[in-house]
Structure 1
């Protein structure tokens, strides 16, 4: 089957990975084309002659409406949108933009699939690299859970769904999450990934912040890791509902082990 597929954000991390998978799965039948969110008229130009849209979201209010309106005006026949897992819960405010965009897509009348992606492993960049650098895995809460996956795992799902030949995924929401885990459990997996004994210890938020500051990690890594500790500690975020079933059904295989993806991430 030949389709003209447009991938928004095709030069970004997720978009470029998704295009690589699209070319891998259907190298002769698909023509990916780059589009951006700069303005509606530019999107209309980019969408001309296209019939399927892999809509890679951005965290900016209102601008995503341009994408939906341009898709409708250009006769796009199918939209796959990257949303957020647990959109009914507080997700640093990101859920507001995603829920609104999901609604615009549904109101457009265009067949759609919503991919509710959970977090990228990148959000624990500070903690993981601090552990690698210091030999200590520190955390501030042992009760609540979290879940993450590699960006390429989500991107592969996006490619598989946009290439599906029939209407199997039409007007569905697919939840993409791993089995959730606590920070102590994550610490044990990091220890295995590193292949050496490490200190795994609960500390106060002040101690955690000092640990990051002394661990030679990036400023962004520090900031995001602090935010994730607060997010997990506060709970009421839907993380405990994670289940890999739908993720694995789309991939037609088991997800890679967390130990293996942590090892891969830390080797980059």
Structure 2
């Protein structure tokens, strides 16, 4: 049985491939990527699958039985791109699709939800048996900002005291592998989130404790936060989007206490303290 993995050279995709190789033969795995040359180190077959070139999708999905459709990275283009993948999957007789969606896609103010919901609807319309992995926020979204927070002396955002049920990319990768390598998931919708929620104030407090440096959380108005992000070189539209996501956090849209993720992976999700520790250990040294 051939299992295809889109976005296999991305952060989540690489983790999925590594964990899949522990559960399945490498010969049964196929990386579906825009640039096969960048997948050479994965140790599995790589096929060109460019979302903007439908012909490559048709060739890439030949003989694929199960497809992990990791949502694309081009916000604004993803609904169309994902639909092309689904159409090619149907044309090539793919028997099952597992899609990485967004937590509470059908009931959230997070702007990303629109494209995910469109993809979920396309999957339903296709008639292909599928599973929805509605992933919550990555703890990595925040630990990735640790070097900047340490340098600037504060952790900033617009999330107020909203609680975030985040988990690490590795946790979400394990969930994908669990679904790909076991039965009984067709038609299921999993709302995946971390076991323990935290506010950004609590995140900053944990960072301060481990770094031995006082790093307060400074909550900024949405427009001010977007302007600060833009000053860091983030494109203006993306800066506005990120600030808007924080406002969604303040509304409770990234909170979930169902613990479906830990049930799926058979262990507790990675604690915030461990994620912060690992990030500090891997952070580039200054001075």
Mapped partners of 2:236, 2:272: distance in 1: 22
Task: Give the corresponding residue for 2:53.
Answer: 39
Q: How does 1:208-219 map to 2 (within 5 A)?
A: 219=233
* Aligned with 1:109 (options 127, 149, 160): 127
Name the counterpart of 1:25.
23
The verdict on how the C-alpha distance between 1:10 and 1:201 changes in structure 2, with shifts beyond 3 A counting, is closer
Aligned position for 2:189: 173
| More relative contact order, 1 or 2 (CA 8 Å, 6+ apart) | 1
Alpha-carbon offset, residue 130 of structure 1: 2.6
- Residue 190 of structure 1: which of 189, 192, 207 is its match? 207
* SS of aligned partner of 2:5: strand
Q: Residue 35 of structure 2 corresponds to which residue in structure 1?
A: none
Alignment of 1:98 with 2:116, yes or no, is yes
Aligned equivalent of 1:82: 100
- CA contact under 8 A between 1:21 and 1:159: conserved in structure 2? yes
Give the alignment's TM-score, normalised by structure 1: 0.83
Number of aligned residues: 258
Q: What's the CA shift string for 1:154-199, capped at 9, x where partnerless?
A: 12211221111x2x111011111123322211112222332x1414
> Is the CA contact (8 Å cut-off) linking 1:83 and 1:98 kept in structure 2?
yes
Deviation track 1:118-151 (CA, whole Å, cap 9, x = no partner) reads 1223433674223222443455554322343322
Q: Could you tell me how far apart the structure 1 residues matched to 2:261 and 2:239 are?
A: 25
1:5 maps to what in 2?
A: 3
CA displacement 1:58-93 (0-9 Å, x = unmatched)? 13231211111111111111100011112121213x
After TM superposition, give the deviation of residue 24 of structure 1 in Å. Answer: 1.3
Q: Which residue of 1 aligns with 2:38?
A: none
Q: 1:156 to 1:79 in 2, by over 3 A?
A: same
- 1:210-236 alpha-carbon deviations (Å, 9 max, x no partner): 98799xxx5349997875455334633
What's the Cα RMSD here?
3.0
Gaps of 5+ in 2: 33-48
Structure 1, unmatched stretches of 5+, are none
Runs of 4+ in structure 1 deviating by more than 6 angstroms, as ranges, are 206-214, 221-226
| Residue matched to 1:71 | 89
Q: What SS is found at the alignment partner of 1:149?
A: coil
> Which residue number in structure 1 is paired with residue 246 of structure 2?
232
CA contact (8 A) 2:7 2:31 kept: no
